[in-house]
Amino acid sequence: MAPRNLLITGATGTVSGALLDQLSGRGIRLRALVRDPAKAEPLQRRGVDAVVADLGDPRSLPAAFDGVDDLWLLTPNDPRSPEHSMNAIWAARQSGVERVVRLSAVGAAVDAPTRSGRLHALSDHELEVSGLRWTILRPHWFMQNLFNEAGDIAEHGVVRLNLADGRVGMIDARDIAECAAAVLLDETSRHDGRIYTPTGPRSLSLREVAEAAEGELRRPVRYEPVGDADVERRLSGFGVPDWTVGMVTEYARAYASGWGTSSPVTSRRSPVARRAVSNGSSPIIERRSSADQTLYIGSEATCLGPQTKTTPTNRVSRSRT
């Protein structure tokens, strides 16, 4: 049987980059879509067929989608996200793509408390009724978001966020990639029409996160709840767009209200799914998150040292939900 051709969007981002690592050498022909030609060369050196195209420009997509069997669909978290997803789904249909695995957002729904969740709900529904085989992942809060607090932890021993005493179901982005890889490597139909919510084994408060960091760094670290305006000023100072600043505030308010509590990986059958799916246990495993989310802080403790400098670009790229 010939290897399947997989197109990965968002290829230079945190999750898609980890997915490329997961799928390298696994018998799949990998193609990566990038907007910046300068970012194509490093992927090509890894043996990835990197193509330059833009989900915001549908005219650029036919060549990128030509011959593709499976699509990993990840769109930027901005006001044009539904447009980008629409363009990708249309290109997939026109090119004969068979299956789409889409990265959505936790709690995506038309009545979600965040603009991101509401926009993702539109794209999720469009994929569900597209006639393509599909699977949707709606992961909880990325552990990598904690990198955004590295500077304050290193310099002041404090985590300053506006989540009050809310608890958050955290997951390492590499585990999300592992979930996606498990689906993409499974050529059966048992993941078709499934919506998965990857998360960690238990919800954590930011006080517990600070305590874990303190234990690993062997110096005092505390959580200091702050107001929305404080976080918004910081984000704006780093050049984060107003739309994204508002989205982050909406997520913070939702988590502060108790919206972010979770249990380990859950899945449900979409009411509009077209194919029968087996009820067998899912191979989706969250190895880095399964024992305890605090282990992540230990494995990445060097990133919290005083020598670490987090640039504004990195702060934006690492923050999703």
Do 58 and 90 form a contact (C-beta atoms < 8 A)? yes
Positive or negative: CA dihedral 83, 86, 87, 88? positive
Amino acid 103: pLDDT? 98
- How does pLDDT run across 99-115, given as a tens digit for each residue? 999 999 999 999 999 99
Which has the higher per-residue pLDDT, 267 or 256?
256
Lowest mean pLDDT among 87-101, 121-135, 203-217, 251-265: 251-265
Terminal Cα-to-Cα distance of the chain (whole angstroms): 39
Q: How confident is the model at residue 67 (pLDDT cuts 50, 70, 90)?
A: very high
What pLDDT, on a 0 to 100 scale, did the predictor assign at position 268?
A: 58
- The dihedrals phi and psi of 32, each to the nearest 5 degrees, come to -120, 135
pLDDT at 270 over 80: no
The predicted model gives 252-271 an average pLDDT of: 71
Closest CA to 153 of 213, 193, 74: 213
Percent of the chain having pLDDT more than 90? 77
- Which residues touch 236 (CB under 8 Å, ≥6 apart)? 242, 245
Most confident of 84-98, 146-160, 273-287: 84-98
pLDDT surpasses 70 at 294: no
* Residue 299, pLDDT score: 34
Owner of token pair 């191979």: 283
* pLDDT > 50? residue 309: no
**pLDDT at residue 202, rounded to an integer:** 84
In the block, tokens 């874990």 appear at 212
Cα separation, 283 vs 319, in Å, equals: 27
Q: How much is the pLDDT for 177?
A: 96
Distance CA 176, CA 17 (A): 11
Q: How confident is the model at residue 260 (pLDDT cuts 50, 70, 90)?
A: confident
Residue 44 has pLDDT above 70, yes or no: yes
pTM: 0.83
pLDDT at 144: 92
Which of residues 279 and 174 earns the better pLDDT score?
Answer: 174
Of the chain, the percentage scoring pLDDT greater than 70 comes to: 81
Please give the backbone phi and psi of residue 196, each rounded to the nearest 5 degrees, phi first. Answer: -105, 145
Please determine, for residue 2, whether its predicted confidence score (pLDDT) is greater than 60: yes
